[in-house]
Amino acid sequence: MCGIVGGIAQRDLREILIEGLRRLEYRGYDSAGLVLIQPDQRLQRCRRLGKVQALAEAVAAEGLSGSLGLAHTRWATHGAPSEQNAHPHLSGDQVALVHNGIIENYQELRSAQRAAGHSFSSETDTEVIVHAIADQMDQGHDLLQALQGTLGQLKGAYALGVICQAEPERLVAARHGSPLVIGLGFGEHFIASDMAALLPVTQRFIILEEGDIAELSRDGVKVYDAELRPVERPVHESRLSADAVERGEYRHFMLKEIHEQPRALADTLEGRLSADCLLISAFGYAAEELLGRVRAVQIVACGTSYHAGLTARYWIERYCGLPCSVEVASEFRYRQPVVLADCLFVSISQSGETADTLAALRQAKQLGYVASLAICNVAESALVRESDLVLLTHAGPEIGVASTKAFTTQLAALLLLLGALGRSRGLIGCDEIELVAQLRSLPGLCERILQLDEPIRALAEAFVDKQHALFLGRGSLYPIALEGSLKLKEISYIHAEAYPAGELKHGPLALIDEDMPVVAVAPNNALLDKLKANLEEVRARGGQLYVFADEAVCLSETGEGYTVLALPHSAQLVAPIAYTLPLQLLAYHVAVLKGTDVDQPRNLAKSVTVE
Ligand code: G6P
């Protein structure tokens, strides 16, 4: 998704802006651009289709320099990926602007501006904003007033950074629906879509709130509300160091993040467990009382986070006896859900900025849920700020577009929620001591599973030439099969689907032949015999089976067309977390063998801040 970096300083900003863009690459993009006010006061812009590296080489070759500038990575929504559509956009040679978000009424604004004599050089929804600001300045407003006057005309979502030739002493910015932070330095200040972009230059940040407008000069930063009344915003000290988002010895961020899972899980559990019970205060002030009132749960999320929600439904209904619904946020936000009495609204999101999930939360607040709980990896995100209760996953920054450690830490957080919901009514068939013991076993268990990296790499070779793959699971392992198939399709571009194994005979069995590898997850649980019978249905039709099974499970049928990889035993509740790891590694190795862009797969974005 689009990324913004900008700054005003005493020193040359070219390399700082380029480094900022590199640190935003993980969000997903197709083109990049940069504009600087040159020492001779001219706006000089450079844009390139493709990678930030191509832009870096071009700005160096063209000798761009300046101490006031904006840079952007674009993820196409309106208009194809191309140099012309890349940001920054200019109005004449006066005003330059970068935008993240979508302007919904751009057609109407474009027609009016065309009639007033503007010509357009791109197909984007963004270009209308920069012309509107230039028009306001032509009417005698300064840059800040011109920005504020323009915002009133816009419908949609935006984070904006704007500079102009006539005012080389300031940068203005605004946020409504898309994230934007301000980085505070000494004699220099910056804007960016997230903190990671600015960690090499500062650890001190202001997080703009909805409707905020900001003015940055070399001397300081002022924040205003939508009516340009000054407002105070707290300064956050980031605990992240610049190298928290480095790849280190790993070939890809995704591999690094897969291997970070034992530590990420331990960090997520840290401070939330005593010797034999959960510390419910971890969910926030008044959590114990609020969660004690809950009689139903509604979970909403997107992508991988949605799969975490689906897994939690099995847990919450089985062990708490509470009705639990799970829905993708883009559907939930546009229907009229029936809200059960004393229902808890739970949103799950790695970034906390996913536009659909955020909109679903805002809608839920009008619908009478007992409380809203965010399970999220980013403490400063909008989702966290707008929820009543929060349980942060402590996965650390996740850079690979395909989510890995964020997912398993979400599952661990959902097990904490299970325990918290069970506190007042008692867990069914499992007590809190047992839950805590299983959670504590997780980091060590995951360490042992990650040692299977080499056999899984060898297994990946069987998938490289395939066009399709099928993933099977039953019970709480069905969402894990869904997640495994999503991982494979996201990064290797192999078409993959997941089915509850019992559903095979109702359709997908027709697809089975030697070209359709079938992956199954088979922990030692009550559904194992049922699953084995389903696998026989595949085998009888010449399918190639790859089964991740508990080491205690006897699958004597191994042989031609039946490959089994034994996993260390995992207890019932944590099995979905344990069985996720081999599926992540499988997808990773297939992608590496195929030579795809593992960390930034085509057409995908890490943080989907537009609808
Ligand atoms: C994008 C990412 C996925 C992620 C989904 C939801 O599609 O590529 O990895 O699962 O957004 O993101 P969230 O930040 O809300 O978990």
Question: Which residue's C-alpha comes closest to atom 4 of ligand 1?
Answer: 303
Give the span between the Cα atoms of 126 and 106, in whole angstroms.
8
Please confirm, yes or no, whether 606 is among the known catalytic residues: yes
CA of 401, closest atom in ligand 1: 8
Distance 491 CA to ligand 1 centre (A): 14
Select from 258, 354, 404 the residue to mutate for testing ligand 1; criterion: most ligand atoms less than 8 Å from CB. Answer: 354
Tokens 């005698």 belong to residue:
140
> Token digits for 373?
């709980």
At 238 the pLDDT is 85
Distance 608 CA to ligand 1 centre (A): 7
Model confidence at 373: pLDDT above 70? yes
Q: What are phi and psi of 258, to 5 degrees?
A: -60, -45
Distance 611 CA to ligand 1 centre (A): 12
* 69 to 47, 165, 169, 194, 198: CA distances (angstroms): 14, 11, 11, 17, 14
Question: Which residue's C-alpha comes closest to atom 5 of ligand 1?
Answer: 303
Taking the whole predicted model, whether its pTM rises above 0.85 is answered as: no
Give the span between the Cα atoms of 3 and 24, in whole angstroms.
6
Please pick, among 2, 164, 324, 446, the residue that the annotation labels catalytic: 2
DSSP for 502-558 reads GGGGGTGGGG-STTSEEEEEE-SSTTHHHHHHHHHHHHTTT-EEEEEEETT---TT-
Share of the chain above pLDDT 70, in %: 99
Give the span between the Cα atoms of 522 and 440, in whole angstroms.
22
- Mean pLDDT check: name the lowest of 23-27, 191-195, 332-336, 351-355: 23-27
CA of 354, closest atom in ligand 1: 15
Q: Is 595 exposed, middle or buried (0-12, 13-18, 19+ CB in 10 A)?
A: exposed
At 383 the pLDDT is 95
pLDDT tens for 456-485 read 999 999 999 999 999 999 999 999 999 999
pLDDT tens for 188-205 read 999 999 898 999 999 999
> Token digits for 268?
């997520």
CB atoms within 10 A of CB 227: 8
* 497 to 111, 117, 187, 289, 378: CA distances (angstroms): 44, 52, 54, 41, 30
Question: Which residue's C-alpha comes closest to atom 2 of ligand 1?
Answer: 606
Which residue type does 235 have?
V
Give the span between the Cα atoms of 595 and 593, in whole angstroms.
5
Chain centre distance of CA 548: 28
Give the span between the Cα atoms of 282 and 389, in whole angstroms.
9
Closest CA to 542 of 530, 560, 566, 558: 560
At 538 the pLDDT is 87
Give the span between the Cα atoms of 193 and 373, in whole angstroms.
24
Please pick, among 51, 405, 489, 606, the residue that the annotation labels catalytic: 606
Residues 526/258/313/356 CA torsion (nearest 10 deg): -160
Please confirm, yes or no, whether 2 is among the known catalytic residues: yes
Distance 143 CA to ligand 1 centre (A): 35
Closest CA to 138 of 113, 157, 111: 113
CA of 406, closest atom in ligand 1: 16
Tokens 């909109």 belong to residue:
359
Model confidence at 556: pLDDT above 60? no
CA of 383, closest atom in ligand 1: 15
> Which residue(s) pair with 518 in the sheet?
470, 545
Model confidence at 252: pLDDT above 70? yes
Model confidence at 27: pLDDT above 80? no
Model confidence at 554: pLDDT above 80? no
CA of 605, closest atom in ligand 1: 8
Model confidence at 244: pLDDT above 80? no
- pLDDT band per the 50, 70, 90 thresholds, residue 177: confident
Task: Please name the residues in contact with 292: beta carbons below 8 A apart, sequence gap of 6 or more.
Answer: 423, 424
284: left (phi over 0), alpha (psi -120 to 50) or beta: left
Mean pLDDT over the full length of the chain: 93
The winner for highest mean pLDDT among 137-151, 510-524, 596-610 is: 137-151
At 410 the pLDDT is 98
Question: Which residue's C-alpha comes closest to atom 7 of ligand 1?
Answer: 303
* 65 to 10, 12, 36, 205: CA distances (angstroms): 12, 6, 6, 25
At 557 the pLDDT is 60
Rg from Cα positions in the chain: 25
With residues binned 3-state (H G I as helix, E B as strand, rest as coil), the percentages for the chain, rounded to 5, are 40, 25, 40
Distance 535 CA to ligand 1 centre (A): 31
Element (H or E) spanning 222, and its range? Answer: strand 221-224
At 558 the pLDDT is 60
At 555 the pLDDT is 65
At 496 the pLDDT is 97
Select from 1, 26, 258, 302 the residue to mutate for testing ligand 1; criterion: most ligand atoms less than 8 Å from CB. Answer: 302
Higher-confidence residue of 443 and 288: namely: 443
pLDDT tens for 51-67 read 999 999 999 999 999 99
At 437 the pLDDT is 93
Q: Are β-strands 371-376 and 389-392 bridged in parallel, bridged antiparallel, or unpaired?
A: parallel
Distance 355 CA to ligand 1 centre (A): 10
Distance 329 CA to ligand 1 centre (A): 11
- pLDDT band per the 50, 70, 90 thresholds, residue 277: confident
At 441 the pLDDT is 94
- pLDDT band per the 50, 70, 90 thresholds, residue 559: low
Pocket of ligand 1 (CB under 6 A): 302-305, 349-351, 354, 357, 401-403, 604, 606-608
Model confidence at 178: pLDDT above 90? no
DSSP for 424-472 reads TT--SSS-HHHHHHHHHHHHHHHHHHHTTHHHHHHHHGGGTT-SEEEEE
Burial 9-26 (b: 16+ CB within 10 A, else e): beeebbebbbbbbbbbbb
pLDDT tens for 64-112 read 999 999 999 998 888 889 999 999 999 999 999 999 988 989 999 999 9
Q: Are β-strands 371-376 and 495-500 bridged in parallel, bridged antiparallel, or unpaired?
A: unpaired
> Token digits for 585?
């590694």
pLDDT tens for 317-331 read 999 999 999 999 999
